[in-house]
């Protein structure tokens, strides 16, 4: 097991299986099927992300460098949470962008009973270490354990 220290964006503790992207996550393209067409597993629809395309994101520890794409990113994350189609958590190797941060924070504040912990600034070593299927545990204070 290896531990990484990051910065808490949206609080919470969780254990989930890792889903890893080495490219940026286009939130709208990735979650469109879940939000528009009722895909409860949130199967990634972004054909430009070979790490995630056609993989189920709901309930997974989504490990990525950053989000990319349109200004709808924050709303897309908020809506995914509101519909119960969110990842178990989002773990960023780089600092989170303001749009993804806003959507994550609003979901944690406005949605009762919905949790999607978000930790950023975990570093390149984190993203190089974690592999799909590994067990991720987020502890208090932004500590991320990878097994």
Reference 102, options 84, 81, 85; nearest CA is: 81
56: phi then psi, degrees, rounded to nearest 5 = -75, 125
pLDDT at position 70 over 90? no
Alpha-carbon distance 25 to 112, whole Å?
26
Q: What is the pTM of this model?
A: 0.97
Q: Report pLDDT digits (tens) over 103-146.
A: 999 999 999 999 999 999 999 999 999 999 999 999 999 999 99
- Closest listed residue to residue 121, CA positions, set 102, 100, 89, 95: 95
Residue 85: predicted pLDDT: 97
- Could you give the CA distance from residue 22 to residue 93 in angstroms, rounded to a whole number? 10
Which of 84, 82, 73, 103 is CA-nearest to residue 10?
103
- Residues 6 or more apart whose CB falls under 8 angstroms from that of 87 comprise 16, 19, 42, 57, 58, 59, 60, 61, 62, 116
Interval 33-49: pLDDT, tens:
999 999 999 999 999 99
Give whole-number Cα distances, 99 to 25, 28, 58, 72, in Å. Answer: 13, 12, 20, 8
Per-residue pLDDT, 140: 92
Confidence at 69, pLDDT banded by 50, 70, 90: confident
- Once rounded to an integer, what is the mean pLDDT over residues 77-81? 97
Average pLDDT of span 2-14: 98
């Amino acid at each position: 097991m290896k531990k990484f220290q990051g910065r808490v964006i949206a609080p919470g503790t969780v254990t989930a299986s890792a889903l890893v992207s080495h490219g940026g996550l286009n939130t709208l393209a990735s979650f469109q099927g879940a939000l528009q067409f009722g895909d409860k597993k949130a199967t990634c629809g972004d054909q430009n992300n070979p790490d995630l395309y056609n993989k189920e994101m709901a309930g997974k520890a989504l490990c990525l460098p950053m989000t990319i794409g349109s200004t709808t990113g924050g709303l897309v994350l908020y809506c995914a949470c509101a519909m119960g189609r969110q990842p178990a958590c989002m773990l960023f190797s780089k600092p989170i962008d303001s749009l993804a941060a806003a959507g994550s924070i609003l979901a944690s504040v406005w949605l009762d009973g919905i949790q999607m912990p978000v930790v950023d600034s975990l570093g390149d070593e984190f993203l190089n270490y974690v592999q799909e299927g590994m067990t991720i545990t987020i502890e208090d204070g932004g500590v991320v354990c990878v097994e």
